[in-house]
Amino acid sequence: MATDQGKTTLDSGWFAARSNEVHFNGTQLTTTNPPSGTTLPWMEALVPGTVLGTLVKNKLVPDPFYGLGNEAILDIADSGTDYYTFWFFTSFHCKLSSNQHCDLNFRGINYSADVYLNGHKMVLPKGMFRRHSLDVTNILHPDGNNLLAVLVHPPDHPGSVPPQGGQGGDHEIGKDVATQYVLGWDWIAPIRDRNTGIWDEVSISVTGPVKIIDPHLVSSFFDNYKRVYLHATTELENRSSWTAQCSLSIHVTTELEGSIHLVEQLQTQTISVPAKSRMQYTFPELFFYKPDLWWPNGMGKQSLYNVVISIDVKGFGESDSWSHYFGFRKIESHIDSATGGRLFKVNGEPIFIRGGNWILSDGLLRLSKKRYHTDIKFHADMNFNMIRCWGGGLAERPEFYHYCDYYGLLVWQEFWITGDVDGRGDPVSNPQGPLDHDLFLFCARDTVKLLRNHPSLALWVGGNEQVPPADINDALKNDLKLHPYFEHENEKGSLSTKLGDPSQYLDGTRIYIEGSLWSGFADGKGGFSDGPYEIQNPEDFFKDSFYKYGFNPEVGSVGIPVAATIRATMPSEGWQIPLFKKLSNGYVEEIPNPIWKYHKYIPYSKPDKVHDQIQLYGAVKDLDDFCLKAQLVNFIQYRALLEGWTSRMWTKYTGVLIWKTQNPWTGLRGQFYDHLHDQTAGFYGCRCAAEPIHIQLNLATYFIEVINTTSEELSNVAIEVSVWDLEGTSPYYKTHEKLSFLPKKVTPFVEMKYPKSKNPKPVYFLLLKLYDMSDNRILSRNFYWLHLPGGDYKLLEPYRKKKIPLKITSEVFIEGSTYKLQMHVHNKAKIPDSKSLTFEHGSTGTHRDSCLVADSVETVHNGAGKGQEVGWFKKLHRHFAGKSDGSKVSEINGYDIGVAFFLNFSVHASSKDRKEGEDTRILPVHYSDNYFSLVPGEAMTIDISFETPLGVAPRVTLNGWNYHGQTIHEAL
C-alpha cells in the first residue's frame, strides 16, 4: 500500500557509532551491511539529540550534569573532531504511488552531514540553524523499506577552553554559525561535543505533484480592531513534468469546545502551476469582523485560529496541506519619551514588560514537547509576559513558540551574536562574527520563515550586547524592514491597494533591533549597561539610584535550589555548605566547596555592599538549613526586584528581563526552577510580584502601593493591612473601603506606619490584601516578613519550634496518570481577640493625584472596652470557613497561636515505591501557589497538578519553617 500523504517524524529506532570505529562506508551501511543496535560499536541513539546525549544515554561517559562528571569527559579540543564525528542510522517505511513525491527533512544538524539513503549519497551543507529538505522520490525502494545513514561532523571551529575558563572559551566557536554557550560561560561548564548531532526533528513528508512551502500569514486591523484582514502568501512547487491545474484553498477555524470547530472563513482559488517550477501565490484578503484577539499573558485570552492551506491537483486530488495556529494581534514599540525605554503595545494597549532571559531547555539539546510545555507554563505561572532568547543559545524551535502562543509569552528572539564571542572578552574576540557571512544570513532568513507566523514572536534582535558585522546588520535591517502599516498606529484604507501586501515581506510585522543594548534597551547606545548580577539589598531595587535606564534587558541574582536537588545532582562531598569567612570590614565572604564552584554558585553576600542574606536568619547548621534559608532569600530577592521595577512603571521604567529564569544544566545561580524542574521560592516571589493587579509595600518608602497593569479601572475595592507578631497577636490593623484605581497606573496609597509606632517588634509579619467588595474576592494578597531598620531575622529561629495547628482538606481527581489535587489549608490557630488590635482609621476623601478615592473605613471600636471588627478581615474568614466535601482530611495538631510560616508542598513517590537513597520527588509539578504563609484563622486553596511515572502512586508532603515533612495525601 502507498504511504499516506503528510509528515511522519523519524524519532525512534536510531542507532549511532563513532565514525572511526565503523568499518563500512555509507553506501554499504544502507545497502549490504546495515548495522544492528545489538552489535558493537553501535548503540541506541538519541535523535533528536547530540552525540554527547547519546553517550550519556548509554552510560559510556559520566553524566556531565552530576557533580564533577563533566571533568571526566574528553573535550573535543583534546580529542580532535574525529572523536565526536558519528554515524546515525535508522530505517523507515515509505512506498509511493503514482505522482507522489517524498522529501527527507532535517530541521537542524550541527554542523554538517553526509546523508546516505539506500546507497545514494547527499551532502548537507554547514550551519546549525538551517533546514534541509531532500527530494528522495527516486531513491526510495519500490518495496517501501528504506535504509538511512547520516554521518554528522562537528563544528569547524570547536575551539578550546582556556585554564581560566571565560565567556565562550577562546571564542573560536564564533567563526561558525552555531551555539556559543557550548564553550562555557559564567553559568555553565563547557559542552564537550559542542552539540554535535542531529539535534532537531527528522521527518519524511509525502505530497502529490505540487507542494506548499513556507506560507506567510499577516493580520491588519481597522476601526479600533473591529475589522481585521488576514493576508496569506505561499510558495508552490510543481515537481511534475506537466502544468498542474489546481484548486488552492484557505480556511480558518476556531475551536468552540473540545473537538468542535467553527469555520470562520473559507476561500478557494483556481490556479495553474507550470511544470518543474516554483511560484508564489497571494490569496485575496480574508475579512473578519470582531474576531477574538490574541493577548499576552495577563492582558486577556490567547485566542488562536487554525489556518489551513491545501492544494488539490486536477486528476490527482489533494496534493499537500499546511496548517498553523495563528493569533490576530498587532504589536508595536517605540522609544518612550518619558523614560527612554522601549515601550511595547499589543492591540493598541501598552504592556509593562516583566519577563526573563532564556538560554535553552537543556544543554545537551534533549528537547521535547513535554519539556517545552513545562518550561513555558512555568513562565506563565510566574505571571511573566516576555521571554528573551539569548543570542548565545538557540534559534528556538517551533514547539517552544507553540507553547508561548498558547500561554501568552511574548518572545524576543536574537540571532547568534554575543559581545563576549564577537568583539570583546579575554582573549579579545573577533568583531567580524562568523567567517561565512552568507551562511549566517541564509540561516537567519530560514529562521524567520520557520517562526514568523507565531503571534508570540515580538521582535528580532541582532545579538547579545553586540551588533552583527556591518554587512550582516545592514542585510538584516533590509530583510526585516517593517511594512508601513506596522510603522503607524492608525493607518486607514485598504492595504492591498495603498500600502502593498505585508505578507510579501520576509516578515514585515516586527521590529529588528541591532543589539540588546541599543534603541531603547539599557543606555540605548550599546554601552555595557545591563546587570547587576549579584545579591542586592531588597530595598535598593526601589531606589531611584539603582538603575538609571528605562528598560533593563538583564538583571540577575542568586538561585540555589532546594536541598533535594543538591543531593540528586552531586555526590556527598557536594553537600557541604559554604564556609562563612568574617572579614575585617564586618562583611562575610562565602566560600563554596569545589563542586558548587564548578556549578557556578553565586554567593548570598557581597562584601562591602550586601551583608550575607542567609546569615540574617542565624547560624546555618547543615545543607537542609542552608537551602531552606536560601529559599527565604530567593523569595524576598526576586519579589523585591520585580516590585521595585513595577513601582516605577511608566515613570522611570518600561520593562525588565531577569537574568535568567532557568538553567540548561545543574547550575546554582540565576534560576526560578532547576534543571530537574523543581521550583525555587524565587519562582513564587516573581509570581506574586508580577500579578496584573497587585498590592505591595515599597521597601524604600514604606508606602503601600496598588499596581493596576490592566486596561480596566478598579472600582469598589478594599484594602486590608494587618501586622502579626511572633506571639500570634496583631498589633496593627487597618482597612480602607470603596476605593478606585485607574488602569495602567501605580498608586502610592498610604504609609505603613507600624515601624514608627510605639514599641514595634523587631521582627514581624505584614499581610496586605486587596478585595473586590462586590463578592469578597481577593484580587491580590501579599505576605511579608520584615525586621526593623538595621535588624535581622534571627528571632525567627526559635519560631521554628512553634506548633501551629493546621487542617488540610484534599480533593483528588485522577485521569490516567494525571493527578489534579485541591488542598484547602486552614490555620486553625485562634484569631486574636480584636481588643489586641490597634485600629487606625484611614483618611476619607480624594487622593492627591485623583487616582484613588477612599470613601469609608470599616473598623470600629466600641466604648465598652470590647473591640468589634466588622471589616473584610472577619468577612473573609467567614467566606472560607465552609466545610469542603474533600475526600481526605489531615490534621496537624498544635497548641500555639501564630503564623504558619513559609509552607510548601512537594509530591513524592509513595512509601511503598521508595528505594534507599533515591530522590523520591515526582517532577514536574504545577502549583497555584507555594512557599506561602497563613495568619491565624486564615485559609487558602492550593491547586496541584502532575503526572506520575508508570506504576508509581504519589504522596503529597508539607514542609515549612515550623513544619517538617508531614504526609498530607497518599494514594496507595
What are the pLDDT digits (tens) for 109-119?
999 999 999 99
Q: Cα dihedral sign for 14, 15, 17, 21? A: negative
717 close to 776: Cβ distance less than 8 angstroms: no
527 alpha carbon, distance to own chain's centre: 27
Q: What is the pLDDT of residues 43-73, one digit of tens each?
A: 999 999 999 999 999 999 999 999 999 999 9
Residue 423 burial by Cβ neighbours in a 10 Å radius (0-12, 13-18, 19+): buried
Residues 15-48 as b or e (16 or more Cβ within 10 Å = b):
bbbbbeebeeebeebbeeebbeeeeeebbebbbb
pLDDT in tens, 597-606: 999 999 999 9
DSSP string, 424-478: -TTTT--TT--S-HHHHHHHHHHHHHHHTT-TTEEEEES-BSSPPPHHHHHHHHH
Q: How is residue 3 annotated by DSSP? A: P
CA 719 vs. chain centroid, Å, equals 32
- Which phi and psi angles does 652 have, rounded to 5°? -130, -35
Per-residue pLDDT at 188: 97
Rounded to whole angstroms, the Cα distance separating 369 from 357 reads 20
Would you state the pLDDT for residue 968? Answer: 87
Cell numbers linked to 923: 517532577
Q: Report the amino acid identity of residue 958.
A: L
List the grid coordinates of 119.
546507497
Identity of residue 360: L
Instruction: Render pLDDT for 851-887 as a digit per residue (tens, 0 to 9).
Output: 333 332 323 222 333 333 334 334 433 333 333 334 7
Enumerate the β-bridge partners of residue 707: 694, 746
Task: Give the pLDDT of residue 914.
Answer: 72
Q: Mention every residue, 6+ apart, whose C-beta is less than 8 A from residue 576.
A: 593, 623
CA distance linking residue 477 with residue 444, whole number of Å: 12
Give me the residues of the chain with pLDDT under 70, please: 257-259, 488-498, 833-886, 913, 972
- The shares of helix, strand and coil residues in the chain, as percent rounded to the nearest 5, are 20, 35, 45
Helix axis angle, 437-451 to 398-407, nearest 10°: 40
In this predicted structure, what is the pLDDT of residue 833? 66
**Where are the alpha helices (H) located in 577-622, listed in sequence order?**
594-598
Instruction: Say how far apart CA 417 and CA 178 lie, in whole Å.
Output: 10
Q: How many residues does the chain have?
A: 972
- Closest by CA to 150, choosing from 127, 104, 116, 195, is 116
* Res 972: pLDDT: 59
Q: 693-697 and 860-861 as β-strands: parallel, antiparallel, unpaired?
A: unpaired
Indicate which residues carry an active-site annotation: 465, 554
**The predicted structure's pLDDT at residue 866:** 32
DSSP symbols for 825-846: EEE-SPPPPGGGS-B-PPP-EE
Cβ partners under 8 Å of residue 489, min gap 6 = 332, 345, 348
